Amino acid sequence: MPDFPPARIVLAKVGLDGHDRGIKVVARALRDAGLHVIYAGLWQTPEAVVRTVADEDADWLGLSLLSGAHMTLVPRVLQLLREAGLKDVGVLVGGIIPEVDVPKLMDMGVARVFGPGTAMADIVAFLRPRSESTHA
């Protein structure tokens, strides 16, 4: 198996949501699985998140939203990624996302939505093969 550099993933809390326990658990699990994790922190604007993705040369962006603003903030982030020429960055969304909104987010370009109670192994299993292929 080729020795790929670890995938780089930016994790961020977008908007006014201040609950960060879940994203910190995900950050640690991804780091322990060998990914290079950059945690952008709480209360990030879409513009700041996209700037961090560009600055960190990230392969993935993971957004955590518990505030109910996902149908406003995620489309804005996706738009800014496209405008910045970062359309190849995969986007994951986690948090409290109503099932009715999951297909809408995926149609917009989100690669996967992970809800509460998702096993960390499932997130790693989703990212690992996709991350290796971005470095081929």
State residue 132's pLDDT score: 56
Which of 3-7, 24-28, 31-35, 58-62 is the least confident region? 3-7
Q: How confident is the model at residue 18 (pLDDT cuts 50, 70, 90)?
A: confident
Phi-psi region of 110 (alpha: psi -120 to 50; beta: other; left: phi over 0): beta
State residue 120's pLDDT score: 96
**44-98 confidence digits (pLDDT tens):** 999 999 999 999 999 999 999 999 999 999 999 999 999 999 999 999 999 999 9
Q: What are the residue boundaries of the structural domains of the chain, listed by start?
A: 8-128
Domain 8-128: state its class.
alpha beta
Cβ(62)–Cβ(10) below 8 Å = yes
Residue-by-residue DSSP string for the chain: ---PPPPEEEEEEETT----HHHHHHHHHHHHTT-EEEEEEEEE-HHHHHHHHHHTT-SEEEEEE-SS-HHHHHHHHHHHHHHTT-TTSEEEEEES--GGGHHHHHHHT-SEEE-TT--HHHHHHHHHHHHHHTT-
**95-131 confidence digits (pLDDT tens):** 999 999 999 999 999 999 999 999 999 999 999 876 6
Q: How confident is the model at residue 1 (pLDDT cuts 50, 70, 90)?
A: very low
Residue 4 pLDDT more than 80?
no
State residue 6's pLDDT score: 87
Edge-first strand listing for the sheet containing 36-44: 36-44, 8-14, 60-65, 90-95, 112-114
* CA 26 remoteness from chain centre: 10
